[in-house]
Amino acid sequence: MPRIHSSKSAPPRRFERISARELGRPHARLGNPNTGIPELVVQPEFDIYAVAPGNAMGLLILFSLQQNATYNFNGVTAFAKGPGHTTLLQAGMLESSYTFVVRALSLYVQALQGQTHPLAHPEDVINLTSSFMQFNINRKSYYDGIGAWLPGGAGVFVQGVATLTAAASSVNALNGLPFAQNIYTLPGGQFINPQENFNFIINPTVNAGGTPSALAAAGNPSGVTANGLMAWIRLDGTLIRVAQ
């Protein structure tokens, strides 16, 4: 005789069956409220540090100003940050539902962008790359050290040529040789999950001897014009986002 449930009693609970290979790997609809289909792209996250000639190299927390925000630090003429300056569209974090796996760090330095003479003065490059830098995700540090330990990974390479009296050219802004594999790897990668805060700190103010200043535009010991600095910090890795 079939069992009859009264209106006051709940029907028996039914559980969906899953195969053994799915144990520990719940379906997206069971454990992820985002119903979009994820896609993976190899794309870096990056931001800039800039200082004008004759100005002190101040402390700056990168990834705190998004695209279209105004950069007006370290004496640089104010400008709106564009897609060539940062990938960030939301201050301090990724867009909603985006995840980024940071697999490596790199640093590229040159004179201020867009100038007729974009070669950086070697003394300015050394002062910047010998400064303390730190990479953080949710207040946890994943890199503590000077910028010189973060190679460039790619870019233009200009070798300085000099005489006993003056340099015929300045070094470029590459930190290390331009090999794609010449980057600072983070074994296994570090996740930046949706809405998590992250930043990269450049802090020349704690240098021994005090805060360095970028050389003035003229009158330098080597006889080479100084044109300030612009540095790009690149987080190399994999971006996971919802496919449109």
pLDDT tens for each residue of the chain, 244 residues long: 555 555 455 555 554 555 555 555 555 444 454 556 778 888 899 999 999 999 999 999 999 999 999 999 999 999 999 999 999 999 999 988 899 999 999 999 989 998 888 888 888 999 999 999 999 999 899 999 999 999 887 766 655 544 444 544 444 445 666 677 788 899 989 999 988 999 999 999 999 999 999 998 876 665 567 889 999 999 999 998 876 6
Joined together, the tokens standing for residue 187 give 């074994």
Alpha carbon distance 47, 199 (integer Å) = 10
- For residues 220 and 53, give the distance between their C-alpha atoms in angstroms, rounded to a whole number: 11
Residue 58, exposed/middle/buried by CB under 10 A (0-12, 13-18, 19+)?
Answer: middle
